[in-house]
Amino acid sequence: MVFADAVLARRLEASEAANARECTALYPEAAALEVAGGWAVFAGSDSPLSNAVGIGLNGRVSEAELTDLERFFEGRGARVAIDLCPLADPGLVEMLGRRGYRATEFNNVLVRRMAGWERMETPRVRRTSPEYAELWAYTVGRGFFERTTLSQEEMDVGRAIFAMPGAMCYLAGAEGGAAAAVYGGLAMLFADSTIAGFRRQGLHRELIAARLNEAMLLGCDLATASTQPATGSQRNYEQMGFEVAYTKVTMVRDQPAHC
């Protein structure tokens, strides 16, 4: 069993923030700001990659720090989105309420110790090479957005992940895909996607196993992933030995609030 204390949360959230910064490599307008113990990352005004991570895990967040974070996003025409860890500064919740934020989404952060992992065969999954970048972006996007035609912006999200300097991307035929990155012995598993017609066939579990196999070879001691609560993805991760460490909430402010 993993005890989710502040030390673990800082490690997980710092890696999440590093991952977010790496994802913006292909965006010419990309920017990042270290603030309030975490990072704010901008990849476009409408990009799902634009958010703040790890805020408030190293002590009290001041009004001035939160104002700096808000100006970072709003000055670039984006709404302010903060992925809030439950172990963050308790006073931050009150501040966000006063400033007009609302909760929009919950995500479970799952972890598993690599100790005891035994390599599994993954015959349908292969590590991709650069010539498969477009296929990977399309396959992952198609599974995520659940349609066969993707916009340029939707494809760009997948391209940006594939282009990350430390990204390891995997395909399960043309039916599913996923990615991983390693930060200080922590394997982050993300961008999991299976096309609707190929779900419930064990593809996602193979994608998880392939990345855990790689994490073991790289000497990782811990693996992590995030899913929405009570989904098939969470079930698959738990079947592969993961457990929920904590649940994060995305707090959003669409328009500046006057306090």
Average pLDDT of 234-247?
97
Q: Is 11 helix (H, G, I), strand (E, B) or coil?
A: helix
What CA–CA distance (Å, rounded) separates 229 from 99?
A: 27
- Each domain of the chain, given as residue ranges in start order, spans 6-108+247-253, 116-220
Residue 242 in this model has a pLDDT that exceeds 50: yes
The model's pLDDT over 120-164, given as tens digits with 9 standing for 90+, comes to: 999 999 999 999 999 999 999 998 888 888 988 889 889 989 999
CA 184, chain centre distance (Å): 17
User: Any bridge partners for residue 181, and if so which?
Assistant: 188
- Rounded to 5 degrees, φ, ψ at 79 are -70, 160
User: Any bridge partners for residue 103, and if so which?
Assistant: 251
Tell which wins on pLDDT, 259 or 235.
Answer: 235
* pLDDT at res. 258: 46
Residues 63 and 92 sit within 8 Å (Cβ to Cβ)? no
User: Any bridge partners for residue 105, and if so which?
Assistant: 250
Residues counted in the chain: 259
Q: Is 137 helix (H, G, I), strand (E, B) or coil?
A: helix
Residues 208 and 176 sit within 8 Å (Cβ to Cβ)? no
- Rounded to 5 degrees, φ, ψ at 71 are -65, -35
* pLDDT at res. 256: 54
* pLDDT at res. 259: 43
Contacts of 6 (CB under 8 A, 6+ apart): 57, 87
- Rounded to 5 degrees, φ, ψ at 127 are -70, 135
Q: Is 158 helix (H, G, I), strand (E, B) or coil?
A: helix
* pLDDT at res. 27: 78
CATH numeric code, 116-220: 3.40.630.30
Share of the chain above pLDDT 70, in %: 98
The model's pLDDT over 58-106, given as tens digits with 9 standing for 90+, comes to: 999 999 999 999 999 999 999 999 999 999 999 999 999 999 999 999 9
* pLDDT at res. 31: 93
